[in-house]
Amino acid sequence: MESIKGTCRCGQLSYELNSPPVYAAYCHCTECRQRNSSPCTSFIMGLQDSLNVSGKSDEYSEASGSGSTLDHYRCINCGTVVYMRINRLNNIVAIPSATLLDEKYFQPVEHLWIQSKVPWLEIKDGLPQRAGPPKFPAGFLA
């Protein structure tokens, strides 16, 4: 498998994910909408131990709607969040799809937190819609 590469907006902070994504989705939770100033966000999830990051980042943490905390790693220059550590999951990182250099790696399987979706956004792609967080296999849970 070729590595999945991505970068922040200014190019100072980059990554390579050396294993296939384990999950991909759209999130409509209030936190994602506010953090990204958009009606939803999209991301892939991968194994943290296969993620190699180059450049300088800082970190901030926040509570998530699923009762966990998220650690966000962002570029010290442009502020782009390049990946997030979801503390209730073992060895999993979430990577915003907008940072991918090749968007073919974003293959979403569902919409999450649609109970928080903005009312004017119509979802017409036929993907399943979940009221809350994804259901992960027990092996992913911390």
pLDDT tens track for 72-126: 999 999 999 999 998 888 899 999 999 999 999 999 999 999 999 999 999 999 9
User: Rounded to 5 degrees, what angle do the CA atoms 105, 90, 30 make?
Assistant: 65
Q: Cα–Cα distance between 15 and 38 in angstroms, integer?
A: 24
Of 140 and 45, more confident: 45
21-25, 30-34, 115-119: the lowest-pLDDT one? 30-34
Rounded average pLDDT over 18-46: 90
Q: What pLDDT score was predicted for residue 65?
A: 64
Q: In the structure, what pLDDT confidence band is assigned to residue 64 with cuts at 50, 70 and 90?
A: confident
Question: What CATH number labels 4-118?
Answer: 2.170.150.70
Q: The tokens 């036929």 sit on which residue?
A: 126
- Sketch the domain layout of the chain as residue ranges: 4-118
Element (H, E) at 55: none
